[in-house]
């Protein structure tokens, strides 16, 4: 498992008006929904062609980190222009490709399709809960950011080490931690938009997309390890 733990600057800054906040939230939801299309296409292409099958261990880690950080740098540079959306969608296609190796492995189980749908449903459920909470919680959650960042860095380092160690127990523990940390990050990032702390819908979409993809991947890994049925 490669834990796609990425972070962007989530510090609170200029606070937008209510109209601006609603517009950013609407645009973010639309772009987030759109971003799932290239993700699915990338995952399908990867599974169908086996293009990522050889990306094992250190090689896969280098390709993933290089591609992910390169795309994220480009997104931040273009987020205020018309180029930002295509670059973001290119990133989500890349993430789908990188996810295809795990999906292919899970599909090798007799109940693989069921596990994938369960992980998808679980991720959607987490997002719905966090979106609901973000609209009713009045407390300022900006203080969560530094603790979540530390947690994200810890699981990323643990995930990188485990790429070379290959411990199943460690993978399960890391997956559980990733689900908890990035579920909380969903709430944090959504609350930033609701409170007006994030005024760029491309940056907001990137943050939420990373939260969702991490939770989905960790859930899928955990379900595969704990409930995968071989023929």
What pLDDT, on the 0 to 100 scale, is given for residue 31?
95
Tokens, residue 213: 């993809």
What pLDDT, on the 0 to 100 scale, is given for residue 10?
42
Averaged pLDDT, groups of 10, the chain, 231 residues long = 40 59 90 95 92 75 87 93 94 94 89 92 95 88 88 90 85 93 95 88 95 95 83 65
d(CA 219, CA 204): 23
What pLDDT, on the 0 to 100 scale, is given for residue 16?
56
Report CA-CA distances (Å) from 22 to 18, 114, 202. 6, 36, 14
Query: Could you identify the residue written with the tokens 């300022």?
Result: 140
What pLDDT, on the 0 to 100 scale, is given for residue 57?
66
Report CA-CA distances (Å) from 112 to 87, 103, 119, 158, 176. 31, 8, 11, 26, 20
| Whole-model pTM over 0.85 | yes
What pLDDT, on the 0 to 100 scale, is given for residue 96?
94
Residue spans of the domains in the chain: they are 18-227
């Amino acid at each position: 498992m490669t834990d796609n733990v990425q972070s962007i600057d989530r510090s609170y800054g200029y606070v937008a008006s209510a109209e601006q906040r609603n517009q950013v939230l609407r645009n973010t939801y639309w772009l987030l929904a759109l971003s799932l299309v290239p993700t699915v296409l990338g995952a399908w292409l990867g599974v169908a062609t086996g293009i990522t099958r050889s990306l094992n261990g250190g090689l896969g880690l280098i390709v993933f980190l290089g591609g992910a950080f390169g795309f994220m740098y480009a997104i931040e540079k273009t987020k205020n222009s018309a180029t930002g959306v295509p670059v973001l969608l290119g990133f989500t296609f890349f993430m789908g490709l990188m996810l295809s190796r795990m999906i292919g492995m899970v599909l090798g189980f007799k109940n693989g399709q069921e596990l994938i749908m369960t992980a998808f449903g679980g991720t959607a459920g987490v997002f719905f809960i966090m979106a609901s909470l973000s609209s009713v919680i009045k407390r300022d959650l900006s203080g969560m950011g530094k603790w979540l960042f530390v947690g994200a860095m810890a699981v990323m380092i643990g995930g990188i080490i485990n790429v070379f160690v290959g411990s199943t127990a460690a993978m399960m523990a890391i997956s559980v931690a990733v689900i908890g940390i990035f579920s909380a990050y969903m709430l944090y990032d959504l609350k930033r938009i609701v409170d007006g702390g994030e005024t760029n819908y491309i940056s907001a979409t990137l943050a939420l997309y990373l939260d969702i993809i991490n939770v989905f991947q960790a859930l899928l890994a955990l379900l595969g390890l704990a409930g995968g049925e071989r023929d």
